Amino acid sequence: MFQKILVPLDGSELAEQALEPALMLAEEASGELLLLSIPYLKHLFVSERAGYGLLWPDQSVAHTHEELAAYLLGLQARHAYAGCSWLTQIVDGDEASVIVDTAAAQNVDLIVMSTHGRSGFSHWYFGSVTEKVLQSAPCPVLVLREARPFRHILITLDGSRLSERALAPGLALAHCFDAPVTLLRVEEPEELDPAFLRELDTHERGLGSQAYDTFYYRTENYLAEVAERHQPFCRQPLKQLVMSGSAANEILAAIDNSDVDVVVMATHGRTGLRRWVFGSVTEKVMRHARGAVLIVRPPSADLV
């Protein structure tokens, strides 16, 4: 599924945490890995024998380009064993815009990137690169918080067609890493009015109990049907988990209690990830989840 994978790199060890899983996914698909670096005015001064020498902005850009080119070449040399093709690009411009535009122009299937800084995803309220990429990326985005193996993947579903957009990318991730998958659906607490059930029985005997059973077992039936439909694409049996309560809190609890390394979610609504600042489920999970998060943004046509 992931034939072309984009990895933005800035020369830091944190950014390079995205390289290993991206390599494995590219090798699995016999695909292509695109390493992207965006220069910035890093070198204003260079050491000279007599002290320090000042670089003009154009000299600084040229120096940074040379350094990044050598850096990307070194990465390729260190991973020469990889069973995939490589492509490197150095593009000037705003980081988030360059990443999104490059992904669109190159028909990228997946962006893999690391979050930076001690504050992690709480950065996003202040317009970080990761947030902007997630808001506009034309493909799924896998965001890593730390270097850790993918041993258990959680795919969240709510019964909608939009949420099921997370299935194919999540299962492709699981197939590559031979990781077990748990399908999770969280039901908001609901109750059927006993008077309503009695009224149904007055119209037809047993209709009330039938409605009760349908209401309380629809989630289990839904997950069982999804699991049966997608089991042929999985190396391990698909697990199912139903929880009741606040969606974000229950998802986070499932991550902790089931030792989940990657949570896969599809965004909802016309405004996509812009809803996060208002406390949506996705925002809360992204802020507090351990491990990696794979965000799938459905095509604009599906958000009408």
pLDDT tens, position by position, 26-48: 998 889 999 998 876 444 444 44
Is the pLDDT at 119 greater than 60? The verdict is no
Mean pLDDT of 151-163: 90
What CA–CA distances, in Å, run from 7 to 142, 157, 216? 10, 27, 44
Residue 301 reports pLDDT greater than 80: no
Q: How far apart are CA 45 and CA 53, in angstroms?
A: 6
Lowest model confidence (mean pLDDT) among 88-102, 114-128, 220-234 = 114-128
Among residues 121, 147, 173, the one where a domain terminates is 147
Q: Which domain holds residue 55?
A: 1-147
Domain boundary among 106, 125, 147: 147
The answer to whether residues 9 and 135 belong to one domain is yes
Of 124 and 89, more confident:
89
Q: How far apart, in Å, do the first and last CA atoms of the chain sit?
A: 26
pLDDT at site 109: 95
CB 258 within 8 A of CB 289: no
68 and 28 inside one domain: yes
Q: Which of 43-52, 96-105, 222-231 has the lowest mean pLDDT?
A: 43-52
Same structural domain, 9 and 103: yes
Give the CA distances from residue 126 to residues 115, 121, 141, 285, in Å, rounded to whole numbers and listed in that order. 14, 10, 19, 18
Q: Tell me the range of 96-100, 118-122, 127-131, 160-164 where mean pLDDT is highest.
A: 96-100
Average pLDDT over residues 211-233: 77
Choose one of 91, 119, 147: the last residue of a domain: 147
Model pLDDT, residue 274: 47
Domain shared by 115 and 244, yes or no: no
Are the C-beta atoms of residues 234 and 175 closer than 8 Å to each other?
Answer: yes
89 shares its domain with 153? no
Q: Name the residue type at position 170.
A: G
Are residue 114 and residue 181 in the same domain, yes or no? Answer: no
85-99, 160-174, 181-195, 232-246: segment of lowest average pLDDT: 181-195
CATH number of the domain at 21, please.
3.40.50.620
Q: Is the pLDDT of residue 49 over 50?
A: no
Residue 22: which of 41, 10, 5 has the closest Cα? 5
Nearest to 140 by CA among 304, 279, 284, 273: 273
Same domain, 152 and 282: yes
Number of domains present in the structure of the chain: 2
Q: Do 244 and 269 fall within a single domain?
A: yes
Of 10, 268, 292, 286, the C-alpha closest to 151 is: 292
Examine the domain organization and report whether 225 and 295 are in the same domain. yes
Do both 168 and 280 map to the same domain? yes
Average pLDDT over residues 92-107: 91
Residues 157 and 122 in one domain: no
Structure tokens at 219: 């989630």
Dihedral of CA atoms 263, 160, 125, 127 in degrees, nearest 10, equals 90
Q: How many angstroms separate the CA atoms of 44 and 253, rounded?
A: 48
- 259 and 111 in a common domain: no
